Chain A
Amino acid sequence: MIPPLRPMLSRRLMISALSTFAVLSLFGCGRTEPEATPPGGATTPGKKAEAVSGAFKVALVTPGSVSDGGWNASALAALNQIKGELGAETQNVEAKDASTQEENLRSYASKGYNIVFAHGGEFEAVALKIEKDFPKTLFVIPSGRTIGTNTTPVVLNLKEGAYLAGMLAAGMSKTGKIASVGATKSAVVEEVFKAYEEGAKAYKPTIEVIPTAYTNDWEDVGKAQQQTMALLSNGADVILQDLDQGAKGVFQAVDETSKPDKPVFAIGTNSDQNALSKNILASATIDITKAYVPIAKQVKEGTFKPNDTPYGMKSGVIGFVFNPAASAPLSADLKAKIDEATKKIIDGTLFPANSPAKAKP
């Protein structure tokens, strides 16, 4: 056995050391934030940035795999176009979970990248937190809301496409019930489903729109499939999804359930997913290239200013593509009404789910 004196001593030692250390490590606690304008041509709000001299470096951080054939794949396509057209040096990485977001954004910014496309609204808080540390880098947040010093949102009016999807769903439904599957509930996502409901009710006021089923996971195929199965067995026969990789689960469930005498359909979003199944009626698309490439060009020329002007069908960023190979044809009346609504949206006379006042003429 250890003699009793020794533990006594070391315990006393431990306690005194611990308290000394506690005081020391907490002394001077808190952080002083750097001045708003560090040396070297800072971008200040309202002021134009300088044109890029030297290497033009652009990075992309995606929330999921770039081989999802959807949201993240389109971002990589935009990055490659920026590389080709603007001669930018490009890099990309997947931030697998929230805890690696900051690290990835910081790493590129610390290497002097001119633009970091942080491909999702979930990056907004982190970008706004770290932007002051990297005044020479522009952080671009699609589906973001807040204009920062050197952080810009890219407001995407996917809801315009979703409105048309709602009309299509209401027109194609035989059971009179339509539904939708989403990932995480956020203001932007909720607007998409609200526009879907508006479109459906506009075409057929008696249509029943089952409240959106959320999986809380953009990527999980299994969860999306289960939710879709549940909605289908509930009588819904057209499903709109707003998912990334998870969309595949929705399509699988629809393909499994669809019978020639009792067809069920899905509607794609974020990219043209029509080729994935003949049961996909159409896709509400986002062509992020048409937003990202002009931003990169303006940054390179030094004319970009953070802004929240929405990108909708007018800019060509949002589109609505029918599936030519769809298993069921749509009636002439439905097609005409959708075309009419499309025109109104582009003209700026129809605002699904209250498009921001700014988008109005």
Chain B
Amino acid sequence: MIALLAVTFLLLGVSPRVGLSALWVGAFGDADGHLYPLSETLVKTTPLLLTGLGVVVAWRGGMFSVGAEGQLIVGATAGAAVGLWGSHLPGFLITLLVLSAGAGAGAAWGYLAGWLRVRRNVQEVISTIMLNYIALSLLGALVEGPLQEKTHRVSQSNPLPNSALLPHLFPRTWTNEIQTRLHSGILIAVFAAFVVMIYLFYTAGGFKLRVVGQNPEAARAARYEVDALRLRAMLFSGALCGLAGATELLGITGRLYKDFSPGWGYTAIPVALLGGLHPLGTLLSALFFGALTAGTGHLSRFSNVSSVLVNVIQAVAVLAFVGIRAFRNRQSGGE
């Protein structure tokens, strides 16, 4: 993978040594033990992991949802609406309300696509894409309408109260007195990975879900409630993605705005696939993507690689990773 990246850098006219070290420094930190870059990697991992888990649950249940993005946006929007509405309440209560509103709204958005599939036989691939657009437009309309900040100048909402935001994890002393953005959302995300694992692989419900995903006919023959299980997969998946939106809102942005997500919900699909649709694999692959995003961000800021070419580098890294896995699989004669 490093060799491939080095070749890419050469093609882009950047010294591979400079490029690779910029990627590394941006993702994990430099020699002076500065933890800021690592915190940024984990910051990016959080929404990728939660939405990635959402994709895992849906796809394991045979629902090929690409609606993580829309569910994330709806989650953040509902979270912000509830948080601003209840901004006079004590902080921890707002946090709880925002997180549950986010998960609830995401679940509802997922349920819509699920309902369309089981009742009207609308392919979830199509319905979730359409629901993504609706969510995006809804967000746009709200931040320029009822949820717009008080001066009505910018397409964003008022900030949520500080007391409601998720606490920062790294004390300032770890990072040369620089406040990092890392927040307790990462704990929620990692915990969610274990919850999803237990659910999928150690409960009867999860077992049935996987059977429906692998062979709906067999599931029907075994008298499983296929429709109900599909709906449940979409509900659970939507809740995770909505939670991703709410944690991003409470952890990073503190307010709602247009372009809230840079496409977390779409990256979630490669994250989940690279993780082998397994929650723990997804945890690792979300870390990989988080490091890659943080590293390439650093690269575009501190070298002369333009931000467009940075996307090329990201894609090469992912392709290299997939290639290595395919090669290993072939060698071991697996799959």
- Whether chain B is bound by chain A comes out as yes
Q: In the complex, which residues of chain A have a beta carbon less than 8 angstroms from the beta carbon of B155?
A: 184
Q: In the complex, which residues of chain A have a beta carbon less than 8 angstroms from the beta carbon of B297?
A: 100, 103-104, 107
Contact of B36 with A by CB under 8 A: yes
In the complex, how many residues of chain B place their beta carbon closer than 8 angstroms to a beta carbon of chain A?
A: 55
Stretch at the interface among A4-12, A257-265, A286-294, A338-346: A4-12
Please name the residue on chain A nearest to B156 by beta carbon. Answer: A125
A100/B167 in contact, CB under 8 A: no
For the complex, give the distance between the alpha carbons of A2 and B195 in Å.
18
Number of A-B contacts (CB under 8 A): 124
Render A119-140 as a binary contact track against B, CB cut-off 8 A, 1 for contact: 0011011000100011000000
Contact of B127 with A by CB under 8 A: no
B154/A29 in contact, CB under 8 A: no
Stretch at the interface among A18-26, A248-256, A326-334: A18-26
Question: Which interface class (under 10, 10 to 19, 20 to 34, 35 or more) fits A?
Answer: 35 or more
B300/A94 in contact, CB under 8 A: yes
The interface of chain B, by Cβ under 8 A from chain A, is 36, 40, 91-92, 95-96, 149, 153-156, 159, 162-168, 172, 175, 177-179, 181, 184, 187-188, 191, 195, 198-199, 202-205, 207, 252-255, 257-262, 297-298, 300-302, 306-308
For the complex, give the distance between the alpha carbons of A38 and B175 in Å.
14
Q: In the complex, which residues of chain A have a beta carbon less than 8 angstroms from the beta carbon of B261?
A: 99
Q: In the complex, which residues of chain B have a beta carbon less than 8 angstroms from the beta carbon of A187?
A: 153
Please name the residue on chain B nearest to A133 by beta carbon. Answer: B179
A93/B301 in contact, CB under 8 A: yes
Q: In the complex, which residues of chain B have a beta carbon less than 8 angstroms from the beta carbon of A14?
A: 195, 198-199
B188/A93 in contact, CB under 8 A: no
- Nearest-Cβ distance from residue B223 to partner chain A, whole angstroms: 12
For the complex, give the distance between the alpha carbons of A33 and B254 in Å.
14
For the complex, give the distance between the alpha carbons of A40 and B181 in Å.
21
Q: In the complex, which residues of chain A have a beta carbon less than 8 angstroms from the beta carbon of B258?
A: 98
For the complex, give the distance between the alpha carbons of A19 and B179 in Å.
30
Q: In the complex, which residues of chain B have a beta carbon less than 8 angstroms from the beta carbon of A122?
A: 154
- Nearest-Cβ distance from residue B240 to partner chain A, whole angstroms: 13
Q: In the complex, which residues of chain A have a beta carbon less than 8 angstroms from the beta carbon of B164?
A: 29-30
A102/B301 in contact, CB under 8 A: no
Residues A11-60 near B (CB distance < 8 A): 11, 13-14, 17-18, 21-22, 25-31, 33-34, 38-40, 59
A31: which of B165, B178, B191 is its contact (CB, 8 Å)? B165
Render A82-93 as a binary contact track against B, CB cut-off 8 A, 1 for contact: 000000000101
Q: In the complex, which residues of chain B have a beta carbon less than 8 angstroms from the beta carbon of A96?
A: 262, 307
Q: In the complex, which residues of chain B have a beta carbon less than 8 angstroms from the beta carbon of A124?
A: 154
Q: A21-B191, A98-B259, A100-B262 are in contact. Are A107 and B298 (CB under 8 A)?
A: yes
Q: In the complex, which residues of chain A have a beta carbon less than 8 angstroms from the beta carbon of B254?
A: 129
Q: In the complex, which residues of chain A have a beta carbon less than 8 angstroms from the beta carbon of B205?
A: 7
For the complex, give the distance between the alpha carbons of A1 and B172 in Å.
52
- Nearest-Cβ distance from residue A21 to partner chain B, whole angstroms: 5
For the complex, give the distance between the alpha carbons of A342 and B297 in Å.
44
For the complex, give the distance between the alpha carbons of A184 and B259 in Å.
14
B260/A125 in contact, CB under 8 A: no
A99: which of B172, B195, B262 is its contact (CB, 8 Å)? B262
Contact of A354 with B by CB under 8 A: no
A31/B195 in contact, CB under 8 A: no
B195/A7 in contact, CB under 8 A: no
Q: In the complex, which residues of chain A have a beta carbon less than 8 angstroms from the beta carbon of B253?
A: 99, 102
A97/B199 in contact, CB under 8 A: no
Contact of A110 with B by CB under 8 A: yes
A25: which of B91, B165, B184, B302 is its contact (CB, 8 Å)? B184
Please name the residue on chain B nearest to A97 by beta carbon. Answer: B259
A104/B301 in contact, CB under 8 A: yes
Q: In the complex, which residues of chain A have a beta carbon less than 8 angstroms from the beta carbon of B203?
A: 2, 6-7, 10-11
B307: which of A10, A34, A93 is its contact (CB, 8 Å)? A93
For the complex, give the distance between the alpha carbons of A134 and B175 in Å.
13
Q: In the complex, which residues of chain A have a beta carbon less than 8 angstroms from the beta carbon of B167?
A: 28-31
19 inter-chain pairs at a CB distance below 8 angstroms, sorted by A residue, are A2-B204, A25-B187, A29-B92, A30-B95, A30-B163, A31-B165, A65-B308, A98-B259, A99-B259, A99-B262, A100-B297, A103-B181, A103-B297, A107-B40, A107-B298, A110-B36, A110-B175, A125-B154, A186-B154
A186/B153 in contact, CB under 8 A: yes
Q: In the complex, which residues of chain B have a beta carbon less than 8 angstroms from the beta carbon of A194?
A: none
- Nearest-Cβ distance from residue A64 to partner chain B, whole angstroms: 10
Contact of A106 with B by CB under 8 A: yes
Please name the residue on chain B nearest to A189 by beta carbon. Answer: B153
Q: List the 4 closest pairs (A to B, CB-CB), nearest first.
A: A30-B163, A98-B259, A97-B259, A30-B91
Q: In the complex, which residues of chain B have a beta carbon less than 8 angstroms from the beta carbon of A111?
A: 302
- Nearest-Cβ distance from residue B142 to partner chain A, whole angstroms: 15
In the complex, besides A7-B205, A40-B177, A121-B154, 5 extra interface pairs with C-beta distance below 8 angstroms are: A10-B202, A29-B95, A94-B300, A121-B153, A125-B255
A110: which of B162, B166, B178 is its contact (CB, 8 Å)? B178
Please name the residue on chain A nearest to B202 by beta carbon. Answer: A10
For the complex, give the distance between the alpha carbons of A18 and B205 in Å.
18
Q: In the complex, which residues of chain A have a beta carbon less than 8 angstroms from the beta carbon of B262?
A: 96-97, 99-100
For the complex, give the distance between the alpha carbons of A111 and B30 in Å.
12
For the complex, give the distance between the alpha carbons of A72 and B167 in Å.
36
- Nearest-Cβ distance from residue B181 to partner chain A, whole angstroms: 7
